[in-house]
């Protein structure tokens, strides 16, 4: 039952879709608090895990450190004008962390469907601490938190650090992106990942250079397997 107070609150503070700016309708837009059903239905579904993994194998060949990879949605570019990317930019730079929280829940459902649940640890890909200071948060922490909650797996927010502040990679060539990401991450003192199956969480998977660099550090520290889950595969 919808209370009078709820109707009153909705009237004063109507919730809007962060993608198309239309007002959310209580009866139609039940599956999300920030995005209307129409927009959610319009997002391109991600390629299959096999398809994503084959792309990674082709790109990284012998230096591939990721075993399995999964995504919720697909986008043909990182352009901010694409509806799904608009939400990612709001999650990253606009303070709308709720986008990460809710997409994290959807990502957990997709992980369950694909039987990707056998993990000892979930790790959000870290951002550099200077960038965290500037933004106030790491967007991937919110996605990982939901995935951990739904799948009931522990999340480690602080065991890897990003030691090099990389500038935006969008303009770099694919080969340079890969080179640019070598030795960017390190495991923090005394963190132990030996023998663990780990799921890395990030908002976007483009070439996979960032995530593969992170996975490489985990394997070098004797993790058993590193898989990846992201919101968007570009």
Q: Compute the least distance from the CB of residue 25 to Zn ion, in Å.
A: 11
Q: Compute the least distance from the CB of residue 29 to Zn ion, in Å.
A: 8
Query: Per-residue contact track with Zn ion, 3 to 22, x per CB under 5 A?
Result: --------------x-xx--
> Considering the rule CB under 5 A, would residue 144 count as an interface residue with Zn ion?
no
Q: Which is nearer to Zn ion, 87 or 198 (CB)?
A: 87
Q: Under rule CB under 5 A, how many of the chain's residues touch Zn ion?
A: 5
Q: Figure out which of the listed residues 24, 39, 125, 143 binds Zn ion, where binding follows CB under 5 A.
A: 39
Q: Compute the least distance from the CB of residue 39 to Zn ion, in Å.
A: 3
Q: Which is nearer to Zn ion, 39 or 147 (CB)?
A: 39
> Considering the rule CB under 5 A, would residue 84 count as an interface residue with Zn ion?
no
> Considering the rule CB under 5 A, would residue 28 count as an interface residue with Zn ion?
no
Q: Which is nearer to Zn ion, 85 or 125 (CB)?
A: 85
Half-sphere exposure of 188 (CA within 13 A, CB side): 10
Q: Point out which residues bind Zn ion (CB under 5 A).
A: 17, 19-20, 36, 39
């Amino acid at each position: 039952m919808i209370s009078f107070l709820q109707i009153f609150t909705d009237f004063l503070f109507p919730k809007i879709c962060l993608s198309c700016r239309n007002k959310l309708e209580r009866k139609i837009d039940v599956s999300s608090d920030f995005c209307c059903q129409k927009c959610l239905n319009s997002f391109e579904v991600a390629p299959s895990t096999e398809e994503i993994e084959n792309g990674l194998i082709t790109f990284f060949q012998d230096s591939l450190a990721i075993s399995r990879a999964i995504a919720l949605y697909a986008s043909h570019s990182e352009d901010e004008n694409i509806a799904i990317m608009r939400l990612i930019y709001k999650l990253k730079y606009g303070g709308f962390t709720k986008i990460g929280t809710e997409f994290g829940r959807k990502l957990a459902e997709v992980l369950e469907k694909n039987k990707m649940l056998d993990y000892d640890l979930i790790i959000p890909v870290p951002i550099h601490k200077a960038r965290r200071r500037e933004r106030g948060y790491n967007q991937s922490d919110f996605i990982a938190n939901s995935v951990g909650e739904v799948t009931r797996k522990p999340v480690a927010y602080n065991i890897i650090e990003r030691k090099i502040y990389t500038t935006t990679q969008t303009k770099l060539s694919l080969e340079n992106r890969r080179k640019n990401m070598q030795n960017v991450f390190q495991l923090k003192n005394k963190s132990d990942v030996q023998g663990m199956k780990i799921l890395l969480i990030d908002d976007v998977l483009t070439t996979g250079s960032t995530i593969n660099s992170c996975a490489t550090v985990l394997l070098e520290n004797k993790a058993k397997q590193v898989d990846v889950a992201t919101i968007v595969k570009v």
